[in-house]
Amino acid sequence: MFNRLSIIIGGPQGAGLETSAQILTYSLAYLKYGVISDREYFSNIKGRHSYVHFLISSQELPTSLTYPVQLVAALDHETIFTHFDALQEKGVLVYDVWAEEKTLDTTPSMEEDLKNRLREKFNKFGIDGSIKSLVKHISENNRIHLVPLNYSEIVNEIAKKLTLSASQAARYVSSIIIGAVAGLLNLKKKAIEYSLIRRFHDRPELVEQNKSIIESVYNIISAEHGPILELAPSSLNNEELMIVSGNDIVSMAKIVGGVRFQSYYPITPAADESFTIESYERLEVDGSKIGSVIVLQTEDEIAAITSAIGAALTGVRASTSTSGPGFSLMVEGLGWAGMNETPLVITYYQRGGPSTGLPTRGSQSDLLFTIYASHGEFPRIVLASGDHMEAFYDTIEAFNLAEKYQTPVIHLLDKFLANSITTLPLPSLSDIEISRGLMTNEAEDKYRRFNLSTPLSPRAFIGSSKIMWYTGDEHNEFGHIDEDPENRESMYRKRMEKLKIADEEIPENKRLKYYGPEDAEVLLVGWGFVKGVALDALKILANHGIKTAYLHLRMFSPFPSKTTQEILRRFNKSKIIAVEHNYLSQAAKVILLNTGIKITKEIVKYTGRPIYLNELVDGVSRILRGEDRVVLKYGP
Amino acid sequence: MVRKASEYQSDVWNDWCPGCGDFGIVAAMYRAFSELDLPPEKTVIVSGIGCSGKTPHFVNVNGVHTLHGRAIPFATGIKLANPDLTVIVNGGDGDLLGIGAGHFVALGRRNIDLTIILHDNTVYGLTKGQASPTLKRGLRPKSLPKPNIQDAVNPISLALASGFTFIARGYSMMTEHLKELIKKAIQHKGAALIDVLQPCVTYDNIHTVEYYKKRVYKLEDTGWNPIVEKIEERDDKIIKAWMKSQEYDEKIPIGVFYQDPHTPTFEERIKERIPSYHVTPPARQKIEREGKPIIDEEVFRKVFSYYIVKTE
Residue B281, in any domain of the structure: no
Residue B303, in any domain of the structure: no
Domain count within chain A = 4
Using CA atoms, how far apart are residues B285 and B278, in angstroms rounded to an integer? 11
Contact B81 A260 (CB under 8 A): yes
Residue B228, in any domain of the structure: yes
CA nearest A467: which of B68, B77, B179, B7?
B7
Q: Which run of H or of E encompasses A455?
A: none
Residue A232, in any domain of the structure: no
Using CA atoms, how far apart are residues B282 and A311, in angstroms rounded to an integer? 9
**Structural domain of residue B181, as residue ranges?**
5-269
Residue B141, in any domain of the structure: yes
Residue B304, in any domain of the structure: no
Using CA atoms, how far apart are residues A156 and B289, in angstroms rounded to an integer? 59
Could you tell me the pTM of the whole model? Answer: 0.98
Residue B276, in any domain of the structure: no
- Which of the 8 DSSP states describes residue A76? S
Contact A242 B304 (CB under 8 A): yes
Question: Are residues A457 and A522 both part of a single domain?
Answer: no
Question: Are residues A445 and A410 both part of a single domain?
Answer: no
Give per-residue pLDDT as tens, B12-55.
999 999 999 999 999 999 999 999 999 999 999 999 999 999 99
Contact B312 A479 (CB under 8 A): no
Question: Are residues A292 and A370 both part of a single domain?
Answer: yes
Contact B40 A467 (CB under 8 A): yes
Domain count within chain B = 1
What's the Cα-to-Cα distance from A505 to each of A263, A401, A552, rounded to whole Å?
30, 11, 20
Q: Which residues of B touch A469 (CB under 8 A)?
A: 56-57, 62-65
Please say if the pLDDT value at position B93 is more than 70: yes
CATH number of the structural domain spanning residue A359: 3.40.50.970
CA nearest A503: which of A436, A443, A562?
A562
Interface of B with A in 64-123 (CB under 8 A): 64-67, 69-70, 72-82, 84-85, 102-103, 105-106
Residue A239, in any domain of the structure: no
Q: To 10 degrees, what angle do helices B101-110 and B155-162 make?
A: 40
Q: What is the mean pLDDT of chain A?
A: 97
Question: Are residues A460 and A571 both part of a single domain?
Answer: no
Question: Are residues A112 and A52 both part of a single domain?
Answer: yes
Give the pairing of strands B192-197 and B115-120.
parallel
How much is the pLDDT for A441? 83
How much is the pLDDT for A507? 98
User: Low-confidence residues of chain A, pLDDT below 70?
Assistant: none
Cβ pairs A/B, distance under 8 A:
242
Q: Name the percent of chain B lying above pLDDT 70.
A: 100
Residue A20, in any domain of the structure: yes
Question: Are residues A41 and A183 both part of a single domain?
Answer: yes
Residue A429, in any domain of the structure: no
What is the mean predicted confidence (pLDDT) over B289-311? 96
Q: Going by C-beta distance under 8 Å and a sequence separation of 6 or more, which residues neighbour residue A202?
A: none
Contact B63 A465 (CB under 8 A): no
Contact B41 A465 (CB under 8 A): yes
Q: Which residues of B touch A480 (CB under 8 A)?
A: 12, 57
In a mutagenesis test of the B interface, which of A22, A27, A313, A400 is the best target, namely the one with the most B β-carbons within 10 Å? A313
Q: What is the mean pLDDT of chain B?
A: 97
Question: Are residues A286 and A395 both part of a single domain?
Answer: yes
What chain A residue is nearest to B60 in terms of C-alpha separation?
A467
As a three-state string, the secondary structure of B65-121 is ECCCCCHHHHHHHHHHHCCCCEEEEEEEHHHHHHHCHHHHHHHHHHCCCCEEEEEEC
Q: Does B236 touch chain A (CB under 8 A)?
A: no
**Structural domain of residue A500, as residue ranges?**
438-506
Contact A434 B76 (CB under 8 A): no
DSSP string, A328-344: HHHHHHHHHHHHTT--E
Q: Phi, psi (5° rounding) for residue A46?
A: -135, 135
Burial of residue A518 (CB within 10 Å: 0-12, 13-18, 19+) is exposed
- Choosing from A480, A506, A532, the residue where a domain stops is A506
Residue B254, in any domain of the structure: yes
Structural contact between residues A568 and A595, judged by C-beta atoms closer than 8 angstroms: yes
Q: Where are the beta strands (DSSP E) in A46-141?
A: 49-57, 69-74, 87-96
CATH number of the structural domain spanning residue A593: 3.40.50.920
Question: Are residues A155 and A285 both part of a single domain?
Answer: no
Interface of B with A in 150-209 (CB under 8 A): none
Using CA atoms, how far apart are residues B85 and A576, in angstroms rounded to an integer? 56
Q: Does B268 touch chain A (CB under 8 A)?
A: no
Interface of B with A in 36-55 (CB under 8 A): 40-42, 44, 46, 49, 54
Q: Residue B26: helix, strand or coil by DSSP? A: helix
Q: Alpha carbon A525 to chain centroid distance?
A: 19
Question: Are residues A189 and A41 both part of a single domain?
Answer: yes
Contact B81 A289 (CB under 8 A): no
How much is the pLDDT for A138? 98
Please, what is the Cα angle at A91 between A88 and A96, to 5 degrees? 125
Give per-residue pLDDT as tens, B208-247.
999 999 999 999 999 999 999 999 999 999 999 999 999 9
Residue A233, in any domain of the structure: no
How much is the pLDDT for B1? 62
Closest chain B C-alpha to A183 CA, distance in angstroms: 19
Residue A331, in any domain of the structure: yes
Q: Does B307 touch chain A (CB under 8 A)?
A: yes
Contact A285 B302 (CB under 8 A): yes
- Choosing from A396, A423, A450, the residue where a domain stops is A423
What's the Cα-to-Cα distance from A100 to each of A77, A80, A104, A146, A188, rounded to whole Å?
8, 10, 12, 12, 31
Question: Are residues A448 and A524 both part of a single domain?
Answer: no
Question: Are residues A24 and A95 both part of a single domain?
Answer: yes
Contact A434 B302 (CB under 8 A): no
CA nearest A421: which of A73, A69, A52, A70?
A52
Q: Residue A38: helix, strand or coil by DSSP? A: strand
CATH number of the structural domain spanning residue B158: 3.40.50.970
Residue B299, in any domain of the structure: no
* ipTM over cut 0.90: yes
Q: Does B146 touch chain A (CB under 8 A)?
A: no
Structural contact between residues A79 and A49, judged by C-beta atoms closer than 8 angstroms: yes
Question: Are residues A278 and A365 both part of a single domain?
Answer: yes
Q: How many CB atoms lie within 10 A of CB B145?
A: 6
Closest chain A C-alpha to B292 CA, distance in angstroms: 5
The closest CB to that of A281, out of B46, B74, B274, belongs to B274
How much is the pLDDT for A88? 98
Q: Going by C-beta distance under 8 Å and a sequence separation of 6 or more, which residues neighbour residue A139?
A: A145, A146
Contact B277 A472 (CB under 8 A): no
Q: Does B139 touch chain A (CB under 8 A)?
A: no
- Choosing from A483, A506, A529, the residue where a domain stops is A506
Closest chain B C-alpha to A586 CA, distance in angstroms: 31
What's the Cα-to-Cα distance from A417 to each of A9, A84, A267, A350, B142, rounded to whole Å?
19, 26, 16, 10, 58
CATH number of the structural domain spanning residue A89: 3.40.920.10
Q: Which residues of A touch B299 (CB under 8 A)?
A: 285, 290
